Amino acid sequence: MTKQEFVSAVNGEITASCAIPFSLPTGEIERLINLEASWMYREYRDAVQQGYYVLDKKYYLTQEWKSTRTFQMPDCVMAIKMCYEMTSGQRAFGIHDPDLTFDRLMAADLYLTPLSSDQITYRTIQWSFWDLAKQFNLKDIQHGFNINTKRLIITGRDPAESLWLTTLNKIPAEDLYEDPVFLKWVIARAKTQLARIIGTFNYTLIGGIQINYGDIRTEGQEELTALKEKIKSDSPPDFFMMFT
C-alpha cells in the first residue's frame, strides 16, 4: 500500500465514505503517519525484522573508531541484539583446525561422557570450571547502542577480528501500511485530532445541526487503549533472568 492509498483509507474511515462533511487535511494525516510510525517501530514487534551486518576490521583504522570507539549504523536499525567477534578456528594440541577448538573439546568432555550419581559432585565442579574457562574463549563484545543517533559504541575489549551484528531493522513503510494494527492506530489518532480541531470553536452546521465532537474523541481514545493492550499482549518477554 502506498502512502496516498493509506491516507485515503484513513479519510474514508473518518468521513464514513464521505457521509460526514468534515475530515482532516491530507498534510495533517501525513504528519500523524510519520509521528505514529516512529512510535510503532519502537513498541510494536511486527514493525521490525531481524537483520545482519558484518563490520569489517578495516574500520578499526578509521579516525572515528580511534577517537570515539563508535560506528554509525544505518537509519533503519532500531536495536542491536548481538555483537560477536568473528574469530576463526583456534589451535588445540598444536593442530590448527576450525573443527577442533577449545570449546568443542570442553563440551565433548562435559556432555558426551556418561553421568552417574557418583559423579554429581565432580560434574558440579567441572561445570563451574567450564563457566570460568569460557572467559578465555569469549566471542561476545560488550557494546551499547543509541536509538536516536544510530551509533554503536564498543564498551568492552578491543576486537581484533571483524564483528558480526544481529539487529532489529524497520520494515519498509509500504509493508507497515499494510498492517491492520497500524491502520487502526492512525485512524484512532486521527479521530482524536479531528475532535481537537472541531472542538476548538463552537459552531453549528447548516440546519442547526451541532457537532458532537466529544463522542469522536471518546471513540478514538477507547480504540487507542484497546490497541495498546493488544500490542502489549502480542509482545511478551522471550527471556528470563535468574540470580543466585
Question: Residue ranges of the chain with pLDDT lower than 50?
Answer: 89, 91-96
pLDDT in tens, 178-210: 999 999 999 999 999 998 888 877 767 677 777
Residue 152 near residue 78, CB atoms below 8 Å: no
pLDDT reported for residue 39: 93
Cell of 69: 570507539
Cell of 185: 492506530
pLDDT reported for residue 18: 76
pLDDT in tens, 9-19: 999 988 888 77
pLDDT reported for residue 113: 58
pLDDT reported for residue 93: 45
pLDDT reported for residue 103: 60
Cell of 103: 570449546
pTM reported for the whole predicted model:
0.72
CB count in 10 Å sphere of residue 104:
13
Q: What is the largest CA-CA distance in the chain?
A: 95
pLDDT reported for residue 201: 74
User: 96: alpha, beta or left, given left = phi > 0 and alpha = psi -120 to 50?
Assistant: beta
Which residues are CB-neighbours of 221 under 8 A, at least 6 positions away?
188, 192
pLDDT reported for residue 227: 93
Identify which of 20, 27, 19, 82 has the alpha carbon closest to the alpha carbon of residue 53. 82
